[in-house]
Amino acid sequence: MKTFLQSFLGSLLAVVLALAGFFAFFMILVASMGPKPPVVPSKAVLILNLNRDLLDGNSEDDPAVAIQKAIGGDLSQDTPLPMLIQALDKASDDPKISGLFITGNLRGGGAAALLELRQALLRFEKKKSVISYNQTWGRGELYLCSGLGKIIVNSFGAIDITAPSANLMFFSKAFDKYGIQVQVTKVGKYKSAVEPFIQDQMSAENREQVRAYLEEIWNGMVSEIANGRKLEPEYIQRLANTKGLMSAIEAKDTNIVDQLAYYDEVLDELKKLAGKDATSKDFPQISIETYAKIPTAPIKSRNRIAVVVAEGTIVDGEGGSGEIGGDSLARELRALRTNSNVKAVVLRVNSPGGSAMASDVILREVIALKKEKPLVVSMGNLAASGGYWISTYADYIFAEPGTLTGSIGVFGMFPNAKKLANNHGITFDSVQLTKIGNPSLFRPMNSEEQQRAQALVDYVYSQFLEKVSDGRKINNVNAVHEIAQGRVWTGRRAVDLKLVDELGGLDVAIAHAAKLAKIEDDYRVDKPKAPQSPMERFMKAFGGSEKRKLAKIGTFDATKNELMDVAQQLRSLNDPNGIYALAPIGISIK
């Protein structure tokens, strides 16, 4: 037996060593095939595929998830919006770029992100030709491309010019069915983030605020589309009311698009733009993802303006993909505060908020940083509730007209799954020495505990009001309460209410930070870097490369992603005290 074990272990060791040797050889072989730096061909057409989400920063997966995605063929990793804008501005002055081709349908992008990208596209169009083509055009793509060169639709295609609508998923009846109870404490009649868990439809107050911000966003889009197509806004509104989804021919007849064509005909136009004739098999081109990775000549300055992206739900701790960790963001701000080369910080906030405790951990570092150097907030699509909490003490706050902000309110949510457990034969018993005990998933709160929970929520709300009053220099706390109560405002209305200082995007915020730091003529900016796809990060260990493929998203995938987003939002509810400064979640704007 001993001889057998020795023989078996020896054979096993030999196999392991052989596999290790093969793996090392594979690494060396692939490393020798390392990626080549991108090169821009002469007279290249820059390709902007809109099959993407317009995010402010990189949403990096941990290595295990990255490997799973790479093996599964999911190579999607969207270039951050600031990098797209920077690439467009750079390409507009690049003699090797002959023009821009826009195609594809957006997966997601709020009003603020769309406006910033549109402004960059308009700057590009002043210098070079733009051709846009789609088989079907959505409202968002039409908004982006109106007034940019030539808009082409497939001869058998369609144009969706319907107004945006908001759809909210409710779970209360499902919870009742399966024996889950959710006990809620909240402040603010507009604080609607808890509604999906305790109601089966929107409250009148929530419907009021949702309608108000949808109307403002839609009116802005109508104005831009009309201006770009040299039409009257009333005409666009009439088309939306009477037609909605238009055939390609209707879109051409109503002057919404310039031309009907099939893809091969569009290719001929792109060849001509690149200096090729119709008989050429291809034309020089480069994707905006690749172009964004080409390094620019560094600005030689010791003065830095750091752009910090706070994107996602605010959670207690370090946070993960799509989340803002209270501890991790606070640590990043603390490092910038002590870096003498960083003369100012721009905090780009794109968040519905989340954990009240984590929000205050971040705010503490915001206040400390502001004492040392200028801090400017640039609000993206959504900077509400906890997202506003971490912004309120900035030296200056910029937002876009369609930014959703405010939502100054607080709620506590305490789920109880006792009935669910009982239904499956599981029972509970306990010994409690005081009337008020620790919250439990398997027992409802008693009346004393509910009163105490409401008192804590009221206290956090009062703190929120005082912070806004102090940070925004609104002397009357009651005046803050009047515009708070959990209500979401657009950026344009927030300026009127003194919650925001001025309308403008990220670049305007950076310029203002330089002005506050008195370094307008001598500084460089640290912006988000272009991301690596899961395959790139997986292959980076071996020195390899990957080819990016963008796929359109289908109806079933969209539904799956919507449910996964809700699950992610539920997972993010990790405040140790169960108290949240969180804007309405789960609202899908279509």
Sequence-distant (≥ 6) Cβ neighbours of residue 358 within 8 angstroms: 314, 315, 316, 317, 324, 325, 326, 327, 386, 575
Sequence-distant (≥ 6) Cβ neighbours of residue 219 within 8 angstroms: 233
Residue 361 is encoded by which pair of tokens? 């951990």
Q: Cα(371)–Cα(366) distance, rounded to whole angstroms?
A: 9
Q: Cα(132)–Cα(269) distance, rounded to whole angstroms?
A: 11
Q: Is 516 helix (H, G, I), strand (E, B) or coil?
A: helix
Q: Cα(458)–Cα(409) distance, rounded to whole angstroms?
A: 9
Catalytic residue among 128, 186, 191, 373: 191
Active site residue 385: yes
Active site residue 280: no
Q: Cα(252)–Cα(157) distance, rounded to whole angstroms?
A: 11
Using a 10 angstrom Cβ sphere, with 0-12 exposed, 13-18 middle and 19 or more buried, the burial of residue 37 is exposed
Q: Are 244 and 590 in contact (CB under 8 A)?
A: no
Length of the chain as a residue count: 590
Q: Cα(98)–Cα(117) distance, rounded to whole angstroms?
A: 20
Catalytic residue among 92, 146, 192, 385: 385
Q: Cα(148)–Cα(159) distance, rounded to whole angstroms?
A: 17
Q: Are 382 and 110 in contact (CB under 8 A)?
A: yes
Count of C-beta atoms within a 10 Å radius of residue 13? 10
Beta-bridge partner residues of 411: 186, 580
Q: Are 537 and 66 in contact (CB under 8 A)?
A: yes
What positions carry a catalytic annotation?
191, 385
